[in-house]
Amino acid sequence: MIRHPHDDALVLFDPVDLEQDPAPHPLVGEHRADLLAVVAWARAYLCRPHPDLGRVGPVCPYAQTSLDRSAFRLAVRPGGGHSVASLSGLLAPYRDWFLDLAPRGRPGSHSATILVLLPGMRDAQEVIDAAQRELKDAYVAHGLMIGEFHDGPPDKAGLWNPDFRPLRSPVPMLVIRHMVPTDLPFLIFEEAHLAAYRDLFGEQVPGHLRNLVAKP
């Protein structure tokens, strides 16, 4: 368990914390079922291939490494009455905290992820999706990605199969991780996002994606 040095509302849990009895924090005691459901979903779904994915390999190429390296952290922010503005405000502090905990360039930081669970928002697909869009500019500018997951079902299709909805999860959440070279397809529609990508990776763009960043 990691507590934020300046904000008592910000607490991160490791999957091993969820097995402790008594619970190491009231949020674990109250939301253990949701937390365990997300860890089980990550292991059984994100870390494995899926017949509808449209490519080989696991659904998420980074989840298993994050779990293996104890870099898979979970937060719980219950309450379902959020507007886009209030949810965006709730998530904003996690950006700087993530960068403090896992600064780019530190060994192992590329495996870090924070999953902010939002129990109580199961019918708030539009709010979660809109908050992700609002937050994305600031996260991308800092070399981060923020993704939205819920049982909506999600609108976003898979990159390799337009009929597949890879962002479905058992608990609604927003997820933070470092930007990686293969994120390019998610960033090509906004010039500021593309500029942030170029600043980070330059000539490291994967060969099969270089045409997407070629300057005219």
Query: How far is CA 88 from each of CA 91, 130, 132, 213, rounded to the nearest angstrom?
Result: 5, 9, 8, 29
Element (H, E) at 148: strand 144-149
The domain limits of the chain are: 2-179, 181-216
Helix axes 84-101, 125-141, angle to 10 degrees: 40
Q: What is the pLDDT along the chain (216 residues), one digit of tens a residue?
A: 999 999 998 999 999 999 999 999 999 999 999 999 999 999 999 999 999 888 889 999 999 999 999 999 999 999 878 899 999 999 999 999 999 999 998 999 999 999 999 998 866 789 999 999 999 999 999 999 999 999 887 888 887 788 888 899 999 999 999 999 889 888 988 999 999 998 998 877 777 666 665 554
- For the chain, first and last CA: distance in Å? 49
Supply the Cα-derived Rg of the chain in whole angstroms. Answer: 17
